[in-house]
Amino acid sequence: MIPVQGVEDQTVAVLGLGRSGKATAAALAAGGARVVAWDDGVDTREAAEADGLHILDLTRDAAWQGVSLLVVSPGIPHLYPRPHPVIAKAYELGIPVDNDIGLFFRSYATEDWQGFDRPPRVIAVTGSNGKSTTTALIHHVLAECNRPTQMGGNIGTGVLSLDPAIDGEVVVLELSSYQTDLARALTPDVAVFTNLSSDHLDRHAGHGGYFAAKRRLFAEGGPDRAVIGIDEAEGLFLAGQMSMGPTDDRVIRISAGQKLDRAAWSVFARKGFLSEYRKGRQAASIDLRGMRGLPGAHNHQNACAAYAACRAVGLAPRQIEGAFHSFAGLPHRSQTVAEIGGVRYVNDSKATNVDAAAKALQAFDRIRWIAGGLGKDGGIAALAPYLGQVSKAYLIGHSARDFALEIGQTPHEISETMEDAVARAHAEAVPGDTVLLAPAAASFDQYPNFEKRGEHFVRLVQALAAKN
């Protein structure tokens, strides 16, 4: 746990008592604060009270007497589409509002650091797509290179539940727009922006507000190094804002398709090869094509971002390359589950929308595609340009018949269930095929979440592998 600094003998209110809220309350108490807490859920409040938290109804004016800070869990709206009533009350009373990310950045450094040979570093990753894989890949590379490292934030451990820093450690954080938007302190040593596509627009009042939330990671604290994907206009704009000119190597520009050889420092991937350029000259090159944990152009962009971040904290190109080879990928994100009789089985259950499914379909040839579930607005007609490599689609779930109408002449069958889809794809696949679960739909018609859907696919594949 990281005790929160600067709250000793203060009364601090915590709103939202899920995993991060409980961890925040504990870290505040460890820092000497008097913690009062509230959650809209009756069962959640009762459970927290049973655990010893002081529950106080923050919807009542009298509850705010003496409160100096309100700390909010990330899922609770603080501005759009409208502030939660408790947050609105804090604004009205002039009480500062923060989240666990802000508390982490103001509390991570301690006097103990004066005795370290190498100061700890923080790498923070944000963006729309690929940030989980990028975060996990950076953490994996650091660990493989014997650098002390922890991973947390929006993936793994909550930030205030991390262990206090040790000499030379690198903490790698995945930060969502919900987390960057409200944090009062954002001071990573290395900040990474992967890409931007429309998401969470109701929480940010549109695409511009969503980008503004991401941009705060770079604008608020001024990282020592900024790794910025420039394949969208927003990234190109951000790189321009952070840079002092063409020779400024504090900004590392990355791309998953463009050749970047004119910037002071850049990393890009083309045709399966990652290249690093410094001052117009190639400094390193890595062949990504055989790396099973990083298939497709979208994962090559993740590799560029992770490579740049690891270079920014002093790792050598060959160290990074060696660690890339042992990266297995994250569960449910282009995860190779097995190879049976020359057929590859890939779990990309996280591909719950058209954009993510399009990236998955571009990553493989000769695809036996398992798709369907609870379809989203707009359907899957936009996937038409990416269906050329689909040998056959096996459609499941609520939207199976709707999807069948939208994929035109692509061979397909209505499988209804995951069991039938996997069995049929396995029976018809030939060596060199890839059986790909990339649903392009939510899971809630048949599963509680995309993880359970992916786990079901994995179990079915593993059962087939055990028979062969």
Q: Which two tokens stand for residue 335?
A: 């995860």
Q: What are the chain's domains? A: 11-98 (3.40.50.720), 103-325 (3.40.1190.10), 335-467 (3.90.190.20)
Side by side, the strands of the sheet bearing 97-98 are 54-55, 34-38, 11-15, 67-72, 97-98
Find out whether 354 and 378 touch, Cβ atoms under 8 Å.
Answer: yes
The two beta strands, 367-372 and 434-437, are: parallel
Q: How many CA atoms lie within 13 A of 100 on its CB side?
A: 34
Q: How many CA atoms lie within 13 A of 276 on its CB side?
A: 23
Q: How confident is the model at residue 6 (pLDDT cuts 50, 70, 90)?
A: very high
Q: Which residue has the tokens 């290179």?
A: 145
d(CA 133, CA 95): 37
Distance of alpha carbon 468 from its chain centroid, rounded?
36
Q: How many CA atoms lie within 13 A of 61 on its CB side?
A: 2
Q: Which two tokens stand for residue 236?
A: 């190109």
The answer on pLDDT for 468 being more than 80 is no
d(CA 132, CA 139): 11
Q: What confidence tens digit (pLDDT) does each residue in 385-398 have?
A: 999 999 999 999 99
CA distances from 462 to 75, 346, 465 (A): 35, 12, 5
Distance of alpha carbon 205 from its chain centroid, rounded?
21
Q: What confidence tens digit (pLDDT) does each residue in 226-285 have?
A: 999 999 999 999 999 999 988 899 999 999 989 999 999 999 999 999 999 999 999 999
d(CA 451, CA 331): 8
**3-state SS, residue 82:** coil
Task: Kindly provide the b/e burial profile for residues 97-128, where b requires at least 16 CB atoms within 10 angstroms of the residue's own CB.
Answer: bbbbbbbbbbbbeeeeeeeeeeebbbbbbbbb
Q: How many CA atoms lie within 13 A of 66 on its CB side?
A: 10
| Cα-trace Rg, the chain | 24
Q: What confidence tens digit (pLDDT) does each residue in 294-330 have?
A: 988 889 999 999 999 999 999 999 999 999 999 988 8
Average pLDDT (172-197) is 95
The answer on pLDDT for 221 being more than 90 is no
Average pLDDT (390-419) is 96
d(CA 49, CA 258): 55
Find out whether 158 and 25 touch, Cβ atoms under 8 Å.
Answer: no
Q: Which two tokens stand for residue 277?
A: 């350029």
Please list the residues that pair with 263 across neighbouring strands: none
Q: Which residues are annotated as a binding site for ATP?
A: 127-133
Q: What confidence tens digit (pLDDT) does each residue in 140-153 have?
A: 999 999 999 999 99
Torsion of CA 183, 187, 192, 195, to 10 degrees: 30
d(CA 160, CA 322): 32
Q: How many CB atoms lie within 10 A of CB 285?
A: 11
d(CA 235, CA 307): 18
d(CA 435, CA 409): 19
Q: How confident is the model at residue 53 (pLDDT cuts 50, 70, 90)?
A: very high
Q: How confident is the model at residue 202 (pLDDT cuts 50, 70, 90)?
A: confident
Could you give phi then psi for residue 155, rounded to 5 degrees?
-135, 140
Structure confidence at residue 58 (pLDDT): 96
The answer on pLDDT for 63 being more than 70 is yes
